[in-house]
């Protein structure tokens, strides 16, 4: 090895040694901390989307199910006079009994809602809510869903009557 090459190698070796000593004195400067913060935030956001998004879909499904059941229960509360009608098309719901039957279904399911009776048509709008798991950290304590269903009384095997 020539003197010139040996001198360059010594200089590079000296620079590396000094840099190593500086790094040993400084310790970890936290260069990975920013990365970990971003990744942790992203994982919590993803967990919130999965868990709390699923809770919102469950609430929507429950609201739809209960609204349909309540509307059917209301449509089954028939007016006594319409039962004596000479034609099956004359069936109508008793408004007071229909509201009471639909509200009983809503109450039994623990769901809030409104019942509207118009002639033979019983319409129920239901709202259900579920508690959140992850979004509670940012102040969103519950997610919900709503649905509306309408039912009419039918006679025998008649389907699709309006």
pLDDT digits 0-9 by tens, 26-67: 666 666 788 888 999 899 888 888 999 999 999 999 999 999
Q: What's the mean per-residue pLDDT of the chain?
A: 84
- Is 146 buried (19+), middle (13-18) or exposed (0-12) by CB count in 10 A? middle
DSSP three-state, residue 19: helix
Overall average pLDDT of the 9-37 stretch? 76
Q: Could you tell me if 130 and 150 are in contact, meaning their C-beta atoms sit under 8 angstroms apart?
A: no
Q: Could you tell me if 125 and 150 are in contact, meaning their C-beta atoms sit under 8 angstroms apart?
A: no
For the full predicted model, state whether its pTM sits above 0.85.
no
Overall average pLDDT of the 64-89 stretch? 82
Q: Residue 112's closest CA among 72, 77, 147, 152?
A: 147
Q: Could you tell me if 99 and 73 are in contact, meaning their C-beta atoms sit under 8 angstroms apart?
A: no
pLDDT of 29: 65
pLDDT above 80 (res 99): yes
């Amino acid at each position: 090895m020539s003197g010139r090459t040996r001198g360059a190698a010594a200089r590079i070796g000296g620079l590396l040694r000094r840099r190593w000593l500086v790094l040993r004195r400084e310790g970890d400067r936290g260069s990975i901390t920013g990365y970990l913060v971003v990744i942790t935030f992203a994982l919590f956001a993803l967990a919130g989307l999965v868990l709390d998004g699923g809770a919102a879909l469950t609430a929507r499904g429950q609201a739809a199910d209960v609204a349909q059941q309540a509307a059917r229960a209301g449509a089954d509360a028939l007016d006594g006079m319409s039962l004596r009608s000479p034609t099956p098309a004359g069936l109508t719901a008793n408004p007071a009994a229909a509201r009471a039957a639909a509200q009983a279904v809503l109450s039994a399911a623990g769901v809030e809602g409104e019942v509207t009776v118009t002639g033979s048509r019983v319409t129920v709008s239901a709202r259900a809510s579920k508690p959140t798991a992850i979004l509670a950290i940012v102040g969103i304590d519950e997610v919900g869903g709503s649905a509306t269903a309408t039912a009419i009384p039918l006679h025998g095997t008649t389907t699709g009557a309006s």
